[in-house]
Amino acid sequence: MPELPEVETVVRTLEHQIQGREIEDVAVRTPMILECDPDQFRKTLIGQHFRTFERRGKYLLLYMDSVLFLSHLRMEGKYYLQAPEEPLDRHMHVIFQLDDGRQLRYRDTRKFGRMNLLPMDTDLLTFHGLGPEPFWDSFNADYIREYCKGRKEPVKSLLLDQHFVAGIGNIYADEICFACGIRPGRSCARMTKKDRENLVTETRRILTRAIAAGGTTIRSYTSSLGVTGRFQLECMVHEQKVCKVCGNEIRMKWIGGRSSYYCPHCQH
């Protein structure tokens, strides 16, 4: 699943490619992708221009002239910019005809992705119960201490909880735990003040590096707009065999139904 760095890459690439472009037509080939009425979706977007591009958690926020176009890629959603004469396959579910002759095509082999139209003034601070962004000042050691009161779930599960912090997924949660020297299965109740401070620092450091590298293509996800993730070259533990620090074997265990990679020597 695309995580924060991958979604940020898509948002910034779309901004570079289609900012200011007008939508001349919309073809909805798979209505289940939409969380609103397909006919209303099409009628509302025709004549609208792509103005501002933002991200909240793993959501793409595309501000048009008078409506907010929301997109969640889920497992394998991808956007393509193609010429109309290029063939469509059965996994192309929504097609936006742009005023420069190109088409913005949404492709999703599993059909898990979702789109919706929302008012321009939608409150995104508490949108869908999302926690703070990792780069917000409100995501700090004190916040983590308060959030963890009365909780005992593994640190890995905490990082994956979108109510705790928005945008982190399986790959980056493993990397953050390693950078902090914390085993992914350790109870969040056992984190020290230093652990909480490190969690904030390392989360921001790793996500910043991943954004700069265009995310990761370890999974089937890639940006289909000419950007290929390279952060997989920097992964220390996720899907690795040997620890790059101590040389010991990387182990994997299942935590909350997710594969979790760690070094038993470097993490405690």
- List binding-site positions: 91, 110, 151
Catalytic residue among 3, 6, 175, 202: 3
The answer to whether 240 touches 29, Cβ cutoff 8 Å, is no
Catalytic residue among 58, 105, 107, 156: 58
Catalytic residue among 42, 114, 230, 258: 258
Q: How far is the C-alpha of 12 from the C-alpha of 19, rounded, in Å?
A: 10
E strand or H helix at 175, and its extent? helix 170-180
What residues form the annotated binding site for DNA?
91, 110, 151
Confirm whether 87 is a catalytic residue.
no
Instruction: Identify the CA nearest to 239 among candidates 213, 221, 216.
Output: 216
Catalytic residue among 2, 5, 134, 154: 2
Confirm whether 196 is a catalytic residue.
no
E strand or H helix at 43, and its extent? helix 38-45
Confirm whether 186 is a catalytic residue.
no
Confirm whether 258 is a catalytic residue.
yes
The answer to whether 166 touches 130, Cβ cutoff 8 Å, is yes
Return the amino acid letter for 35.
Answer: E
The answer to whether 256 touches 245, Cβ cutoff 8 Å, is no
Task: Tell me which residues are annotated as active site.
Answer: 2-3, 58, 258
